[in-house]
Structure 1
Amino acid sequence: MTRLLRIARTVVQRLRGASRRQLAGLAIGLLVAVGVAVSSVIGQAALATCLLASLLAAVLAGVIHLSRRLVRFSRSTQDAVRELRGTVDQLQRRVIAAVEKERLAAGDRHLELMEALARTERLTARGAEVLLHEQSREIEAMFQLFRAVSPRAPMPAGGVLHPTDLLGLVHIARERRPGLTVALGCGPSTVWLGYAVGAGGGRLVAVEHDESRAARVRTRVAEHGLAAVEVRHVPLAELSVDGRTADWYDVDALDGLTDIDLLVVDGSLTPAAPDPLAPALHVLGRRLAPAAAVVVDDEPARVAPRQGGGFGLTVRRRLPGRWTALTHPQAASASSTV
């Protein structure tokens, strides 16, 4: 009994999952089976035979229909498998191509990295050698500076100027022994230049447009007792040079500066950048002494032949550090005989 109940429960569960067509076919089959059984019981053999034949025909038609559906399903499955296989093959080829491309790119990057490392090693070794050479040169320049100058107070730091730059200024001042030196822009170099100019009996006028900086440099000059150094505060004013206007020192405040033997133009301290030499020669060029020299840093010295030619400053001479000296030919020959 329990087994029959289990079978009945299983049949009911399967019937719940059947479709309407399946339920209708099952119902018709049951009716025909019942009709066959009833016909057999009442002695209607011909009717039972007809019903049984109809049932067999229906079963055969169902089997044929099911086989056709299975064939179509098999074909669609095979088509899906072929399509999936093609997709997988195409995806595999793409993956292989991408992996090969990345492998080649990784190889190229590896070569570039190795070349960059080798180049960096060479540059590092060369840079260390250059840095060591520059440091040695600056130390030598510092020793030469203190052999040339005996300070009476602690010397200020060079600021943007290195010891080789300061050595260039001190060297040309000691070499030429100028009577009047004018420096456009002042800073720590003013003290060093003041010692060199004062040792030759000359006078230094440092022109500065920044009042606070001029006051600081004036205090340092006083600490060192450089009586031959004058720090002059000159405000800026508009100046026209070759049809162009620029902010430069007030020309009226530079009166009295004549027969200048040495003119120093430091592009890092003077206005009218990036070409501070043009206004300097425009205003002070006619006030230079016949054998005067103009000392300028490298950047404006690139255009110096054009600007200085009108005043006869045609001889260029490299000084220690960043400086270039522009002089008259007769001044150059005279300095070479000293």
Structure 2
Amino acid sequence: MRRLRNITPRQAILLAGASILGAAIGGSALTGHLGLALAVLGAVLAALAAGLVLVLHRLGTLGREQRKSQREQRAVLDQTQRRVLGAVEQMLLTAGDRHRELTELLATQQKAAANGTDRLLRAQTGEVEALVQLFQGFSPRAPMPSSGGFALNPTDLLDLLHLIHTRQPRLVLELGSGTSTVWIAYALERAGGRLVSLDHDPGYAEKTRIALAAHGLAEVAEVRDAPLRPVVVDGRTFPWYDVESVADLREVDLLLIDGPPEKTGKDARYPAMRVLEDRLADTATVIFDDAHRQDEAEALRKWVETIEGLTEEGEARGRHAVLSYRRIVRQLTPAE
């Protein structure tokens, strides 16, 4: 009974038809109409045969469709597998290339780091050696200020003092005071020269004066306050030392350009040779610190190209460049 309740309407109709046909055949046989019963039975059997043929045809169609679907699914699966394998292979190749690149980059960085460390150690060794030579050459009468920070490093200081020793300048002008001021004053005390140092920072200038006094060098070196003022050079306005601070200076034998600081403005040191050329001796030496920096290198190039008698003595040594200046005096030809 449970199964009968679950049959579909179509199945119920077929079941009812079969029951009616069965009843008709049975009734015909019982009433003596045997021929009619056989005819009805033959019709039923023919219908069953036709139905069976249709079912078999339908099953064959379903089988073919299933096989076709399986072939299509197999083709899709094969194509998907090939794509997945291709993608995995490409990933492995890319990963291999990336691993090789990273390995090479790491090796390069390690080599660069090793070279950088080696250069740093050599540079530190050079600075220590220069510092030892500085103290061997001079016996300070008080503790020396630090040569770190913005001060000239020991290598540049040693070269500068050697130039003072060999060229014996009578007047040295320094732009920017500090540790170098004390060392230069010691060298000029021995050589018999004089130092004038400019500084735009009153507090820093006073610290340098105190250091000079502590070393007994106030008679040799003078630090002047020179606030930054607008100065026009080559059609441009620059913040530069007050020109009144050097109004009394003539025949400067050695000029050390170590200021104004870079932070005061672009091309901060470019005005130096334009403003001070007329105050140099006919033959003078110019020391240009931080010549490796872009602004300073450009200023150096322009000076050498446009100022007659100014030439660079070889390549820059350390952080500074050494230039020679010889004034060109042109004699006027009398008119005929």
Instruction: Confirm or deny that 1:109 pairs with 2:101.
Output: no
Q: Deviation at 1:61? A: 2.8
Change (3 A) 1:187 1:44: farther
Identical residues among aligned pairs (%) = 41
Residue of structure 2 equivalent to 1:334: none
Q: Deviation at 1:124? A: 4.5
Whichever residue aligns with residue 54 of structure 1, its letter is A
Change (3 A) 1:270 1:114: closer
Kindly indicate which of the two structures has a greater share of residues assigned to helix.
1
Residue of structure 2 equivalent to 1:333: none
Change (3 A) 1:25 1:311: same
* Alpha-carbon distance in 2 for matches of 1:304, 1:125: 33
Q: Deviation string for 1:120-144 (max 9, x for gaps)?
A: 4544444443333222211111101
Instruction: Confirm or deny that 1:238 pairs with 2:234.
Output: no
Residue of structure 1 equivalent to 2:251: 259
* Alpha-carbon distance in 2 for matches of 1:153, 1:19: 118
Residue of structure 2 equivalent to 1:162: 153
Q: Deviation at 1:253? A: 3.3
Residue of structure 1 equivalent to 2:164: 173
Matched residue pairs, number? 319
Whichever residue aligns with residue 304 of structure 1, its letter is L
**Structure 1: unaligned runs, 5 residues or longer:** 1-7, 331-338
3-state DSSP of counterpart to 2:313: strand
Change (3 A) 1:82 1:212: farther
* Alpha-carbon distance in 1 for matches of 2:252, 2:262: 18
Instruction: Confirm or deny that 1:57 pairs with 2:46.
Output: yes
1:116-155 equivalences under 5 Å are 116-155=105-144
Residue of structure 2 equivalent to 1:323: 320
Alignment root-mean-square deviation, CA: 2.9
Whichever residue aligns with residue 288 of structure 1, its letter is L
3-state DSSP of counterpart to 2:187: helix
3-state DSSP of counterpart to 1:314: strand
Q: Deviation at 1:264? A: 0.7
187-196 vs 298-307, which moves further: 298-307
CA contact (8 A) 2:165 2:187 kept: yes
* Alpha-carbon distance in 1 for matches of 2:164, 2:317: 13
Change (3 A) 1:25 1:294: same
* Alpha-carbon distance in 1 for matches of 2:259, 2:73: 77
Instruction: Confirm or deny that 1:280 pairs with 2:272.
Output: yes
Whichever residue aligns with residue 205 of structure 1, its letter is V
* Alpha-carbon distance in 2 for matches of 1:273, 1:313: 25
Instruction: Confirm or deny that 1:313 pairs with 2:304.
Output: no
Whichever residue aligns with residue 307 of structure 1, its letter is W
309-318 vs 284-293, which moves further: 309-318
Q: Deviation at 1:194? A: 2.9
* Alpha-carbon distance in 1 for matches of 2:71, 2:112: 60
Change (3 A) 1:170 1:318: farther
Compute the TM-score of the two structures, normalised by the length of structure 2: 0.81
Whichever residue aligns with residue 281 of structure 2, its letter is A
Q: Deviation string for 1:282-330 (max 9, x for gaps)?
A: 1111001122211003233565365256352225256753222211469
Residue of structure 2 equivalent to 1:90: 79
Change (3 A) 1:319 1:173: farther
Change (3 A) 1:42 1:306: same
CA contact (8 A) 2:239 2:265 kept: no
Counterpart of 1:197 (choices 163, 177, 188) is 188
Change (3 A) 1:303 1:252: closer
3-state DSSP of counterpart to 2:307: helix
